[in-house]
Amino acid sequence: MKYPLVICVPHCASRIPDMVRPALALKDEEIEESVDIGTKEIFGALPAKRVLCADWSRLLVDLNRSAHERGPRGVISEVDYHGRNVYHPGLFPNEREIAERLRKYYLPFHLRLKEALESPDIMGLCDCHSLNGIGPAEAPDPGKKRKDIVLGNNGDRNGNENPSLGRTTCPPESLHSIREAFERAGFSVSLNYPYTGGFITTHYGQEFADKGKIALQIEINQDLYVERISKQLGPERLEDVKRKVSRAFEAFITFLGC
């Protein structure tokens, strides 16, 4: 049985078009550091009815930002999460170039996502990411050790509505049940810290909630499956994490009544 979910993995790729690469000031290995390593292998392998994985690096265009968002961490990033300039001086794309990137790389992904969410047999959206074990310089929690799993519903640290953020995308009682599913699978879990949910979760999730459906941002800690020295995926550890995530999702789906 396929899960009645849309699994979205927007930061799993490192590809940069050849025509864009010379403008970037980052080395290849620094570009790789912006990849949510492990997300395609873990979440992209789940038997959901629809799985959407990014083909291009978030440094080309960030699918988890509004198309209208500008600034250092906008839809076209000026700096990465380590505070490094993404582009050589004078080579940041102008508005015409940004519009072309949105047309070519951003809008097609969001059209596919919107179409997937309109299917009547879809009960939930999971926007899936990975995070560093310790908060990097440009994160909300620099230098702090993180939990294994971070669940975001655009709420406070108990899953309740935060007036400064707007409506939640998943009821608090549902969020706590999903948290328990991950905890029973062997993970430590944080709610809405350090991240409450990005553009994909909030933009689509609040409309989704009107239909009695749920949307969550799920972040998994890379320390669970990335080798400390090589910074590469550890095959045995990765397989163990995949089994645990699958177990959590089975309980998640049972909770949805499927």
Dist. CA 55–CA 34, nearest whole Å: 14
Average pLDDT along the chain, 258 residues, taken 10 residues at a time = 94 97 97 96 96 98 97 94 93 97 98 95 96 88 95 97 93 94 97 97 88 94 91 92 96 73
| CATH fold group of domain 3-255 | Aminopeptidase (3.40.630)
Provide the phi-psi class of 181: left if phi over 0, else alpha when psi is between -120 and 50, else beta: alpha
Residue 237: φ, ψ to 5°? -65, -40
Domain spans, the chain? 3-255
Q: Where are the beta strands (DSSP E) in 132-230?
A: 149-152, 189-191, 214-221
pLDDT given for residue 258 in this prediction: 53
* Confidence at residue 250, expressed as pLDDT on a 0 to 100 scale: 92
3-state secondary structure of 83: coil
Q: What predicted TM-score, i.e. pTM, was given to this entire model?
A: 0.94
- Residue 212 has a pLDDT of 85
Query: How many Å apart are CA 154 and CA 157, to the nearest integer?
Result: 10
Say what the pLDDT of residue 206 is.
82
**pLDDT score for 83:** 87
DSSP 54: -
* pLDDT at residue 253, as a whole number: 82
